[in-house]
Amino acid sequence: MKHPRHQRGFSLIEATVVVAITGVLASTAAPAMQGFIDTRRLDGAATQLATDIQFVRTEAVARNTPVRMSFHTLDAGSCYVIHTGVADACECAPTGPAVCTGDAKQIKTVLLPTASHVMVQTNVRSVLFDPLHGTSTPTGTLRVTDAHNRSVQHVINVMGRVRSCSPGGEVSGCRAC
């Protein structure tokens, strides 16, 4: 009578089958995962922009001086600068903080690089926040858009308040415009 051999480890066929099944599952999950990552990038950039708008308004009151938010489009992406001074006083640098001229002071610079597939589009070049009343001039519409043309829109009214929505309700978690 023969004793059965005790098998240890995997055979080459078993390992190949496991690798093939893992490859099929990974290839079906990858597009869904990329969509999730793109949605998180869009949501993160839109949330940061809305927070920074409130920050500018608060800074104007705290500093008791007008503070502005200026928007720029670069080859490296889009950016905005929170600064004092006139609208054209600060320009975004491709890397690092903005470069300001005259008596303008840069407070914060946010660069959204092209590689992130998220950009800011605006109908105004700069918005000034008044320190006395917290109002903004001019009113503006700021749109954060991703590579799939989904967007979150922030509307700044004359009182400096922000209303956020998603055109067509494309982005979950945002009300439709």
β 99-100/126-129 pair status: unpaired
Tokens of 68: 């502005």
| Sequence-ordered list of residues with C-beta below 8 angstroms from that of 118, at least 6 positions apart, any chain | 41, 42, 45, 112, 144, 145, 146, 147
Is residue 9 scored above 90 in pLDDT?
no
Instruction: List the single range of 15-19, 53-57, 85-89, 118-122 with lowest mean pLDDT.
Output: 15-19
DSSP symbols for 90-120 = EE--SSSS-EE-TT--EEEEEEEEGGGTEEE
- Give the CATH number of domain 12-169; options: 3.40.50.1970, 3.30.470.20, 3.55.40.10, 3.40.50.300: 3.55.40.10
Averaged pLDDT for residues 143-149: 90
Given a cut of 90, whether residue 133 has pLDDT beyond it is no
Nearest Cα to 69, choosing from 50, 54, 53, 46? 53
Please provide residue 127's backbone torsions phi and psi, each rounded to the nearest 5 degrees: -125, 130
Whether the full predicted model's pTM is greater than 0.85, yes or no, is no
Helix and strand numbers (H, E) in the chain are 1, 11
